[in-house]
Amino acid sequence: MKHANNNQTFTKLRKEYPCFVFENYSVSSYSNVLKIEFEFSVSDKIHFYPKLTFPIRDINLRNSLSEIDLRNLVFHIGMIELLSYWKATCSPLILIKPHIINSEQVLWWKKLYFEGLGEFFHLNEILTDFNSFVEIKSISEDLLSVQNFDLTDKVLVPIGGGKDSIVSMELLKSSNMELSPLVLNMTAAQERTIQTAGFDPSETIEIKRGIDPKLLELNGQGYLNGHTPFSALLAFTSLLAAVINGYKHIALSNESSANESTIAGSNVNHQYSKSYEFESDFRNYVRKYISRDLNYFSFLRPLNELQIAALFSKFSKYFPVFRSCNVGSKKDEWCGKCPKCLFTNIILSPFLTETELHLIFGKNLLADKALLPIFEELIGIGTTKPFECVGTLDDVNAALVLTTAKHQESKLPFLLEYYLKTAAFASNKNLNTNKLLTEINSEHFLSSSFFSILKSKLK
């Protein structure tokens, strides 16, 4: 999404739609499927009914779970799902009808909404702040309680179709841990990844999320639209998937680079809900208000993108399989024109041959002059980093320093030749790339057993 001055629209819509209501939710089950439907309304003028379905695997735990047991988990999915619909009008008041949330919870959700919408506010040029952007009120008397679940010591690994979750899955598989892939709205790349990893479709837990068509209709009419914290939605849905299928651990694949702001010196971070800060807040919230039995953590948090790329380069069977391009996701392709494509090419370039890279992307992206503006953003001489899930400036510059060294006896492609003339190269040519490839970030929530797996593989 490009910049658009929608502050006037923001002000107008807030006056026309002063109240967004989380009305209710329902839970039903049939044919080993759990179906959830939420009801949201906006000032009695607009109604939304988004749906999710979860597979229930054939284990005895499911038989002990009633609708009452699931209410806490389902309600919290609704609390994050509502954000996709609230942003259409940005109503100044959110009313929560199904259950009580206390003042501490209100502040927790308000922080997630505000930080998770940082990109949305920035690109829509909306003038607001933490105190005034929304008020959240709970008008229920129904209190939910923290629950205990009988979970097995198994691992759910959310699969996105990109290199990071492949690395997590392969490292955990090699340690003989019992695990299953988890996907939300299966794509062709996710399906190929799971098949390549050797999992049967019956071993995959696939959540299906249905967007209410009314939201898409409003988007077409000029209501507000933009980025929401998808990984926070995945976090809450993964909790329910874990409980109804009996898994204790949920191993994400978010790395340390997710902590770096997209706009330097600000809190605007495209990857906020992948950050260590969110992970820490989420874990604390789950323990206090949902259950202490679940272990949500990012397996790759101690690593940077350069290290993950080095590990991924060992799994050549996935080279023709994986996809990280959001632009080309519907066509199951690398578009070759976006920040994600160029970043992925750069971060892999120290570890793969030009032939391997060409087979993945279909062309030599480092020779494409049209990618220069994106290239400048990635190396830190543009106005901002791209609003995509890309690595830190250090990750990118280290990869380019290593790649230019590989081309000492051959002609450099355009972007590498340009790079050697930039201030970014001048300040990074002596970068300690060995340190980046070997250091371990101490900010993580891996238990000793998971940490030992990661550390041994990194060596």
- Average pLDDT, stretch 428-443? 88
Per DSSP, the three-state class of 268 is: coil
Residue 219 C-beta-side C-alpha neighbours within 13 Å: 14
Where does 40-162 have alpha helices with state H? 67-86, 103-116, 118-123
- CA–CA distance, 317 with 3 (Å, rounded to integer): 39
Q: Tokens 């998808």 map to which residue?
A: 230
The residues, ordered by sequence, that sit 6+ positions from 273 with a Cβ below 8 Å of its Cβ are 112, 116, 229, 230, 231, 232, 235
pLDDT at 59 over 50: no
Other CB atoms within a 10 A radius of the CB of residue 319 amount to 16
pLDDT at 60 over 50: no
- Average pLDDT, stretch 302-327? 94
Q: Which of 22-31, 336-345, 365-374 is the least confident region?
A: 22-31
Mean pLDDT, the chain, rounded, equals 92
Band of pLDDT at residue 57, cut at 50, 70 and 90: low
Band of pLDDT at residue 176, cut at 50, 70 and 90: confident
Per DSSP, the three-state class of 96 is: strand
pLDDT at 286 over 60: yes
| Percent over 70 (pLDDT), the chain | 97
Q: Which of 70-84, 155-169, 307-321, 389-403 is the least confident region?
A: 389-403
Amino acid letter, 60: N
Per DSSP, the three-state class of 9 is: helix
Quote the pLDDT of residue 284: 98
pLDDT digits (tens, 9 = 90+) for 25-52: 999 888 788 899 999 999 999 999 999 9
Question: Which stretches does DSSP call E strand in 276-427?
Answer: 295-298
CB-neighbour burial class of residue 141 (10 A; exposed 0-12, middle 13-18, buried 19+): exposed
Q: Which residue has the higher pLDDT, 144 or 405?
A: 144
Quote the pLDDT of residue 129: 95
pLDDT at 64 over 70: no
pLDDT digits (tens, 9 = 90+) for 108-139: 999 999 999 999 999 999 999 999 999 999 99
Quote the pLDDT of residue 409: 62
The residues, ordered by sequence, that sit 6+ positions from 51 with a Cβ below 8 Å of its Cβ are 35, 36, 37, 38, 209, 210
Q: Which residues of 67-80 are buried (b: 16+ CB within 10 A; e: fewer)?
A: eeebbbbbbbbbbb
